[in-house]
Chain A
Amino acid sequence: MTPAGPVLSLRGVTKSFPLADGGALQVLDVEHLELPGAGCTVIKGRSGSGKTTLLNLIAGVSAPTGGTIVVHGTEITALPEARRDRFRAERIGYVFQTFNLLPAFSALENVVLAMMFARTVPRREQRPRARAILGRLGLGARLGHTPGQLSRGEQQRVAIARALANDPPLILADEPCASLDAATAREVLAVLLAVCREAAKTLLVVSHDEAVLGAGDRLLDMATINARAEAAG
């Protein structure tokens, strides 16, 4: 059940990294950011503008220096780490720029791994479910192949399948097409958008790729979102 209110809300979120001289480098200062509901939002920004840091904070893989992040009504910044890990496993799918598939595991196993960590899908249903998702993404004949045996486009589709494994309402994609050639990038982006729209997911994509910028329902600029840090930097 999806609670009423925005899918994602950030208020006063800052992120600083300590410097060797004892000072701190502030890379992010988001006064307010909200994603109202299902659909695809694209955040554009140049390299080093804090896009990946923003996604990492939303995913809860790193903690903000200050501020609150609420995902589907849960303030993840207030959760202890173990519960934040569990929340991420169940409620957030993450697609990485460099796919980050585990090389020793087959395509099917890479998808099943996400279910193993979330523990929301019964074990006997995990493989059939992973097969179905990979089949939907056109990888039905590649289930037993390891990442090294797949093309880059296929690898990214496996990564998308993995992000969808636990049926999370929010999908984060960090430069999903940056490591692909133009034709493959278009194909992968189309697949990502199609499966997210079909399942009424909230998709947040960060990219500096022109091909991606026009694909979403909404386009935000990192320079605007992170204006205070950019001004200070």
Chain B
Amino acid sequence: MTPVTVVWRYLQGRFVTSVLTVVSVALGVSLVIASVLLTRGIKEGFIAGATDYNLIVGAKGSPTQLVLNVVFRMDAPTPNIPLSAYEDLRADPRVEAAVPVAMGDAYQGFRYVATSAAYFAPFSWRRHVPALATGRLFRSEAPERPDYEAVLGADAARRTGLKPEDRFYEGEEMATYPLRVVGVLRPTGTADDRAIFISLASYWEMNEVSRKARVKPLTAVLVRPKRLSDLTALHRGWNVGPDLQAALPSAILLNIFNLLGLVEDVLAVVLAVVAVVVGLYLFVTMYNATLERRREIATMRALGARRATVLGIVLLESCAIAGLGGLAGILGGHGVAALGASLLAARGGPVTHALALSALQPVTFGAVVALGALAGLLPAVLAYRTEVAENLAPL
């Protein structure tokens, strides 16, 4: 028999209290782990999903809305812009690449993104080039002869079950324009995974307004200048007019991170309060247990246990409860983070690597055990100072 066995017996002896205390610690730790993992996952999701284009030209309004909608497929689409904006940018000698994008409706929650073949072009400066897993890209058809071909992002294909040669549409009014799957993209870890790409010609023909008004609207144009030194001038120039704006995705991302930073600060305060509450609960549990066991502690001392031994047993018990709660909390926190990440991803939120192992797990476990030691310190001192003769007296 060792002090560890003694602690285990004590935990068994107060089974309900021990389990409740472990669960309380686990809930607190789960909250910490899930919050940190999700916040980190969202940040990394934004970074992973960030565009390689330096400028986004769209309708006047909120630049954050423009970037969130065009790059991350979040928020409502901004108003349309004329095709001439794209043509002007393509003709601009300072621009290396200009990609037109029109955000359409959605099929089973997966948004139509109308664009040109340039969207998939393997420019050397692109970190993530959408590559085909199967099939081919839609054809670059003439505007007046759309082929209604669709290329699905990896998640969109998986969740809808669509595969090459399948035809699909959503809503009776779209039955006239069934889309045909011609390809499926590899996973990229970006919002492209949840998109259904179609040609601009198909989009313009499917869109009732553009079809009837014979206009060719876009939502935005992704722009990559030849030289970064031209970026400021391009940005300023496209913001002068009354109808269009140019947004810098990196600046918007920075704003989003600043907002996330505020959320993290609030979260840190909440988590600190949780740690205090869990620590106090553990302290009260251990304090009561020690008070109840004063006679047993006195008996142990009478049997020859040193003061340091009984102090160690109480500390070990407190650390064991915290440690068990910590382990359960780390596992539970990962479960909650996984659930949160999948829910967020299903709603189109950018979140990646939510379950990655890092220093977080061992550091959290160490901190929880340290919290257990702190909570058990006073009860342990109480045990240490227990007067033997006084507590051995017959009841």
A102:B302 contact, CB within 8 angstroms: no
| B105 proximal to A (CB < 8 A) | no
B392:A104 contact, CB within 8 angstroms: no
Chain B residues, CB < 8 A from A90: 304
Main secondary structure of the interface of B (DSSP, over half): helix
Chain B interface: which of A31-39, A108-116, A197-205?
A108-116
- Interface hits, A37-89 → B, CB 8 Å: 52-53, 56, 59, 61-62, 81-82, 85-86, 88-89
Chain A interface: which of B5-13, B140-148, B161-169, B250-258?
B5-13
The 3 closest A-B pairs by CB, nearest first: A89-B304, A104-B13, A62-B389
Chain A residues, CB < 8 A from B387: 62
- Given A105-B9, A116-B1, A126-B1: A98 and B395 within 8 A (CB)? yes
- Given A56-B389, A59-B302, A62-B388: A116 and B2 within 8 A (CB)? yes
Beta-carbon contacts of B271-304 to A below 8 Å, as 1s and 0s? Answer: 0000000000000000000000001100111111
Contacts A100-B302, A113-B303, A175-B394 known; 13 new A-B pairs at CB < 8 A: A53-B389, A61-B388, A82-B307, A86-B304, A96-B302, A109-B1, A109-B9, A116-B2, A117-B304, A117-B306, A117-B309, A178-B394, A179-B394
Main secondary structure of the interface of A (DSSP, over half): helix
What are 12 inter-chain pairs, A to B, with CB distance below 8 A? A52-B393, A59-B302, A85-B301, A88-B303, A94-B303, A96-B299, A98-B395, A102-B299, A102-B300, A104-B13, A116-B6, A166-B304
A88:B302 contact, CB within 8 angstroms: yes
Tell me the complex Cα distance, A10–B301, Å.
22
Tell me the complex Cα distance, A178–B395, Å.
13
Total contacts A-B at CB 8 Å: 86
Tell me the complex Cα distance, A175–B308, Å.
30
Tell me the complex Cα distance, A154–B4, Å.
27
A61:B13 contact, CB within 8 angstroms: no
Tell me the complex Cα distance, A85–B307, Å.
9
- The distance from the CB of B184 to the nearest CB of chain A, in whole angstroms, is 62
Tell me the complex Cα distance, A113–B5, Å.
10
- Given A89-B303, A100-B295: A56 and B10 within 8 A (CB)? no
| A132 proximal to B (CB < 8 A) | no
- The distance from the CB of A152 to the nearest CB of chain B, in whole angstroms, is 13
Q: Which of A98, A162, A178 meets B303, CB within 8 Å?
A: A162
B304:A104 contact, CB within 8 angstroms: no
| B305 proximal to A (CB < 8 A) | yes
A61:B301 contact, CB within 8 angstroms: yes
Minimum CB distance partner of A94 in chain B: B302
- The distance from the CB of A83 to the nearest CB of chain B, in whole angstroms, is 10
